[in-house]
Amino acid sequence: MTIQIKICGLSTPETLETAIEAGATHVGLVHFPPSPRHIELDRAVELRRLAHGRARVVLLLANADIQTTAKAIDAIKPDAIQFHGSETPEWTDLVRTQLKLEVWKALGVRDRKTLAKSARFHGKVDRLLFDAPAKALPGGTGTSFDWSMLAGHDHRLPWALAGGLAPDNVVEAIAQTGAKMVDTSSGVESAPGVKDIARIRAFCKAVLAA
């Protein structure tokens, strides 16, 4: 079984090309101004064009209003949209059904109650992404959560593992959780928002060998 890889927060053609060549199946583009990984729509459109037909493009938004959401989707035309804020199941379902778009929802896992509450998104999203709890930003914090909480969880939706994943711990994370998709951002950076080519390659190599 080949594990799917998402490299999130890409912002340059060079790092995007590296991610795809190294084996990433998904590339994430962040449109959220408070994030150090935020990119404007024109840059996102350029990167989406480069990735077309080579990797699936995931647009990340967090607590965006209707106008921002619609404008970003229309411009980028992503393969999927990842909501990484406090969006409700009603909102994700609306976007999914009205726009006929694949929708993901990120959830910060504090305890097993979080996992139980994830059931409210069943039928409302196409994939859940289990991440570390939000801090000043909803994601990309470089911290992980207790992976053992996922042991024995009844996954009724496709899901991905995120939160502090890096080249040196992703194999253990996969072994503990059985994740079929992993997502990294800060774990392949040399500084906040600055992707490191060597770390991208090392991360993908580790996952593909897991």
Mean pLDDT of the region 115-129: 93
How many folded domains does the chain comprise?
A: 1
Residue 154 in this model has a pLDDT that exceeds 80: yes
**What is the per-residue pLDDT for 136?**
47
CB-based burial, 6-24: b 16+ in 10 Å, e otherwise: bbbbbbeeebbbbbbebbb
Residue 30 makes CB contacts below 8 A (sequence gap 6+) with 8, 9, 37, 38, 39, 60, 140
Q: What is the DSSP letter of 148?
A: G
> Any idea what the CATH number is for the domain that residue 177 is in?
3.20.20.70
Residue 102 in this model has a pLDDT that exceeds 80: yes
Structure tokens at 187: 């774990």
What pLDDT digit, counting tens, does each position of 47-84 carry? 999 999 999 999 999 999 999 999 999 999 999 999 99
Q: Which domain holds residue 16?
A: 4-209
Residue 140 in this model has a pLDDT that exceeds 60: no
